[in-house]
Structure 1
Amino acid sequence: MFVLARRVDLAEVIGAALTAKASGAGARTIAAGLGRPVETVRGWLRRFRQRAEHVRVYFTVLLVDTALDPIPPALSVSGFADAVAAVLGAWRAAVSRWPDVGTVSPWRLAAAASGGRLLSPLWP
């Protein structure tokens, strides 16, 4: 799965925006860097922020269940950044166990693991 439900952009594009926000970038800067409308990017960020705790829990459990020697990510200053770290950590855990997973981006894995509903209010 390479897209998220009700989204036109690829999971990697949305994931790049989420990762940039977790690193402290603002919506305008992210939108300009991705060549997307600022309102579209704000929508992604808003929805992810609303779902951040659910995403963090889901992907932390996935990380722990997948990794051979799991080390969950430490909490940071924001729930948003924690959720992004959990997604990336789950991807790294999957790659450490199944190296071919490394050919798939973390955000494509997140799209598949969520059934394309990563930003959906009804998931998980």
Structure 2
Amino acid sequence: MLLPVFALVRRADVAEVIGAALAAKASGVGVRVIAELLGRPVETVRGWLRRFAARAEVVRRYFTVLLVDAGVDPAPPGTERTPFADAVAAVVGAWWSMTSRWTRIGTVSPWLAACAVTGGILLAPAWPGQTINTSRP
């Protein structure tokens, strides 16, 4: 089944909503406040945050490599307060790096770009460190 580019595997909410929750958590906002701001159940938001936190280091490495590979003059993000915040910074940094090469990417959110880059598996149960492009020979 093909997913639209704004959808994450096994998630009912769009990438921008989930990304807003991840960015808020990286900024130090609590789960109950995030849930209230987004109008989502606390357990749903807690599930997003736990899933992302469980693979924060893998996500950070993946998007840092993307940041360096895609950027015209890349500058890897600095160290944040937590591994969770480091991973969020890498996602946003990769988006900025991609916009330096392909300016139209700047018309979408970092979370929509992250959804597209990962094929929708950003919060999937199994998150491979490498994606496969089947259109190449």
TM-score bucket (shorter structure):
over 0.9
User: Kindly, what percent of the aligned residue pairs are identical?
Assistant: 67
- Equivalent residue number for residue 75 of structure 1: 79
Q: The residue matched to 1:76 in structure 2 has which SS? A: coil
TM-superposed CA distance for 1:101, in Å, is: 0.6
List runs of 5+ in structure 2 lacking aligned partners: 129-137
TM-superposed CA distance for 1:70, in Å, is: 1.1
TM-score, length basis structure 1 = 0.98
Q: Which ranges of 4 or more aligned residues in structure 1 deviate by more than 2 Å?
A: none
Structure in which a larger fraction of residues adopt helix: 1
List runs of 5+ in structure 1 lacking aligned partners: none
Paired residue total? 124
Cα separation, 2, equivalents of 1:61 and 1:121: 22
Deviations 1:77-110 (A, max 9, x none): 2000000000000000111111111111100110
Which amino acid in the other structure matches residue 100 of structure 2? Answer: S
Give the greater-gyration-radius structure (CA): 2
Which of 17, 24, 28 is the aligned partner of 1:13? 17
The answer to whether structure 1 residue 43 and structure 2 residue 58 are counterparts is no
Aligned alpha-carbon RMSD (Å): 0.6
TM-score, length basis structure 2 = 0.89
Cα separation, 1, equivalents of 2:116 and 2:102: 16
The answer to whether structure 1 residue 119 and structure 2 residue 123 are counterparts is yes
Cα separation, 1, equivalents of 2:101 and 2:14: 25
Cα separation, 2, equivalents of 1:100 and 1:109: 11
Cα separation, 2, equivalents of 1:110 and 1:17: 14
TM-superposed CA distance for 1:68, in Å, is: 1.0
Cα separation, 2, equivalents of 1:51 and 1:4: 15
- Equivalent residue number for residue 69 of structure 2: 65
- Equivalent residue number for residue 91 of structure 1: 95
Which of 108, 111, 118 is the aligned partner of 1:107? 111
